[in-house]
Amino acid sequence: MLKNKVALVTGSTSGIGLAYARALAGEGANIVINGFGKPEDIEKERASIEADFGVTCVYNGADMTKPDEIAAMVADVEKDLGGVDILVNNAGIQHVAPIEDFPVEKWDQIIAINLSSSFHTIRAALPGMKKKGWGRIINTASAHALVASPYKVAYVAAKHGIAGLVKTVALEVAEDGITVNAICPGYVWTPLVEEQIPDTMKARNMSEEEVKRDVLLAAQPTKAFVTVEQVAALAVFLCSDAASSITGTMLPMDGGWTAQ
């Protein structure tokens, strides 16, 4: 379905981002992965995508807090692979603390990575998509783009910002063959979720099991974590011709969380 297309997936060295990369490669897209990690681990995943799916996969280590590096990454994709057809903005970090204890530097970092980086990638990639008359922009938002939870002020603010960004850009490019959407997962079992458990335990004075049951899955009626494969499958659908009229939307995949 996506043969000869090029997909740039930020924050794709693990978790949801890596699942996106593999799912899109499975449909024939050439892939650019991006993110942090041990060089040997990143190379293993890059080589695995090429070997498993017979596509080109390259790694770009652009720091998503730095607009110049983001612009250079998109320029490199245009020069080396012919441009970005599918942009998946997935890079994200988390910090959990009451607002009065929330470190200012953490606020700045989360807003930069979870929100501003998407502005910079979209801004850089759109001209090439417009020239081709086709493009797919997908943002990983969150149920927290639609509702709030305590102790996550920066994350919730950033994800609500993504909702506004997606809707605005979708309207701007509605006649250009480009769709812009956001997937809003509930809790997905990823390294990001696993890493926030100790902070949540401390903030709420709970055990790990209590955090999983009474905090993470409390709002999800299914009482089950969303899987990375489910999120990636929705992204693949959004890249299809069948989804060409879906744009400017926030698509919940949250086990019923935001239905309440």
Q: Would the pLDDT of 219 be above 80? A: yes
Cα separation, 106 vs 24, in Å, equals 32
Looking at residue 190, what is its pLDDT?
Answer: 82
Neighbours of 100 (CB within 10 A): 5
Looking at residue 131, what is its pLDDT?
Answer: 98
Cα separation, 96 vs 168, in Å, equals 29
Helix (H), strand (E) at residue 136: strand 135-140
Residue tagged active-site, from 20, 59, 151, 155: 155
DSSP secondary-structure letter at 95? -
Beta-sheet strand order (sheet of 135-140) = 57-60, 30-34, 6-9, 86-89, 135-140, 178-185, 250-253
Closest to 137 measured CA to CA, from 7, 19, 1: 7
Cα separation, 216 vs 186, in Å, equals 9
Cβ contact 96:200 at 8 Å: yes
Mean predicted confidence (pLDDT) in 212-218:
87
Cα separation, 59 vs 21, in Å, equals 11
Mean predicted confidence (pLDDT) in 41-56:
98
Which residue(s) pair with 32 in the sheet? 8, 58
Per-residue confidence band for 67, with pLDDT thresholds at 50, 70 and 90:
very high
In CATH, the architecture of 6-188+227-252 is: 3-Layer(aba) Sandwich (3.40)
Helices 117-132 and 153-172 sit at what angle, rounded to 10 degrees? 20
Cβ contact 135:125 at 8 Å: yes
Per-residue confidence band for 189, with pLDDT thresholds at 50, 70 and 90:
confident
Report pTM. 0.93
Q: What is the pLDDT of residues 98-142, one digit of tens each?
A: 999 999 999 999 999 999 999 999 999 999 999 999 999 999 999
Catalytic residue status for 20 = no
Cβ contact 27:1 at 8 Å: yes
Q: Residue 9: is it exposed, middle or buried by C-beta count within 10 angstroms (0-12/13-18/19+)?
A: buried
What is the overall mean pLDDT for the chain?
Answer: 96
Looking at residue 136, what is its pLDDT?
Answer: 98
